[in-house]
Amino acid sequence: MEMKKLIDESNLYIMNTYKRFPIVLRKGRGMKVWSTDGKEYLDFVGGVAVNILGHCHPKVVIAIQKQAQRLLHVSNYYHIGPQIRLAKLLVQHTFADKVFFCNSGAEANEAAIKLARKYSKENVNPDRFEIITAENSFHGRTLAALTATGQEKFQKGFEPLVPGFKHVPFNDVDAIGQAITMNTCAIMLEPVQGEGGVKIPDPDYLKEVRKICDENSLLLILDEVQTGMGRTGKFFAYEHFGITPDIMTIAKGLGGGVPIGAMLATDKVALAFQPGTHASTFGGNPLVCAAAVTTIETLLEDGFILDQCNRMSEYMKERLINLREKFPHLIADIRGLGLLIGMELTRECEPLVKACLEMGVLVNCAAGNVLRFIPPLIVQKKDIDHLINVLGKALEGLK
């Protein structure tokens, strides 16, 4: 079917929750995707930090094919092989002792919020339920995750929100200290704010937050839905900051393109979940777990991809800084950790995103004026050179 007709049908049949660009994507390989009219795009969005190994990585595709022939789905009433393998891998490579599987980032955060409340009520003080999160944060669209999210624009119209959340400025330790009450049970943060516009905290921020948590018997929940799975150049972003959380949520890159989320915790905290306290029909489904096992094994195999991520991060920031020197009135800042890189503009970035799309490059906008680059971690110099070339032309057009 011709692209225009498909888009008409998309508008006719699908709820209008996304502002979509007028292309239909049908195929992807590595860094590239193709639309139904045959146009090729270089993808610096990567499914919003999902396609960490690029599109249709052959190892992930084969793992899915093999698992699809063996077993697609069974209930969590029974033990599931790929789920066990995935949990073991995550535990071996993180601070965590136990894993709960779900299907998305928002669900992982719901699970984290429930676990933090239950653990604290049962083990610290029955009056504890409140969670402190950061202004400008993003934790998902389900009601509790939305309430945790420190951005009113996402909450508007959905009131009454879930009780028990307080927002404080990000990267401000004193503000956390002042917000703690008898009712506080946890502090929940993204190590780097992604949707909020690629905001990186001071090097000691998380260390100090960890200290506050320890001194007040509070749990530290890190939302690594966007920063996890190698995105920042380490397997998980907390490794940059010399701390470990009590609970961590992950999703996006975990399945290499299939929908899966997980909530990880230490044994001490995880004990608060017992049979019947939390569940998900599809959580830890054999098909998605098989994909995630292969994704992790490929990501961590001889450290090559993480090295590549760090090398390309340096190269890309350097090239973007050069671009800033050419367009100082349009580019306010370049910042990033690993391949979560932001280019803050002095104006809205929508026209630039559209211009890049027309020139065959997909880029994404966060917080209105920050171009956010979250490409597959397999991105190469030649891809970055092409991006810079196209961005230069697009910026030229804005002058």
Contact footprint for ligand PLP (CB under 6 A): 48, 104-106, 109, 138-140, 190, 194-195, 223, 225-226, 251
CB 284 → ligand PLP: shortest distance, Å? Answer: 16
Shortest gap between Cβ of 353 and ligand PLP (angstroms)? 17
96/192 with CB nearer ligand PLP: 192
Closer CB to ligand PLP, residue 323 or residue 377? 377
Please, what is the angle between helix 286-300 and helix 81-92, to 10°?
30
Give least dist CB 251 to ligand PLP, A.
5
User: What single letter denotes the amino acid at residue 184?
Assistant: T
* 247 vs 394, beta carbon nearer ligand PLP: 247
Cβ 365 to ligand PLP, closest distance in Å?
Answer: 13
Conformation bin of residue 65: beta by default, left when phi > 0, alpha when psi is -120 to 50:
alpha
Nearer to ligand PLP, 176 or 221 (CB): 221
Nearer to ligand PLP, 54 or 197 (CB): 197
Shortest distance, position 112 Cβ to ligand PLP, whole Å: 10
Tokens of 39: 């146009």
Complex with ligand PLP: residue 251 or 356, whichever CB lies closer:
251
Q: Between 25 and 48, name the residue whose CB sits nearer to ligand PLP.
A: 48
Q: CA dist 58 to 65, 138, 258, 291, Å?
A: 10, 32, 14, 11
CB 261 → ligand PLP: shortest distance, Å? 6
Q: In the complex, which residue's CB is closest to ligand PLP?
A: 105
d(Cα 32, Cα 295) in Å, to the nearest integer? 19
Smallest Cα–Cα separation from 379: which of 307, 320, 329?
Answer: 307
Alpha helices in the chain (DSSP H): 3-13, 46-49, 58-70, 81-92, 105-123, 143-148, 152-155, 173-179, 205-215, 267-270, 286-300, 304-326, 350-358, 381-398
Q: Which pair of tokens denotes residue 376?
A: 């597959």
CA-to-CA distance for 335 and 343, rounded, in angstroms? 7
| Distance, CA of 243 to chain centre | 19
How many Å apart are CA 361 and CA 46, to the nearest integer? 11
Q: Residue 5 CB, nearest distance to ligand PLP (Å)? A: 29
**Which two tokens mark 282?**
């599809």
Strand partners, 263: 100, 249
Phi, psi values for residue 26, rounded to 5°: -125, -15
Minimum CB distance to ligand PLP smaller for 104 or for 266: 104
Nearer to ligand PLP, 151 or 308 (CB): 151
Output the smallest distance, CB 154 to ligand PLP, in A.
11
Q: How near is the Cβ of 195 to ligand PLP at its closest, in Å?
A: 5
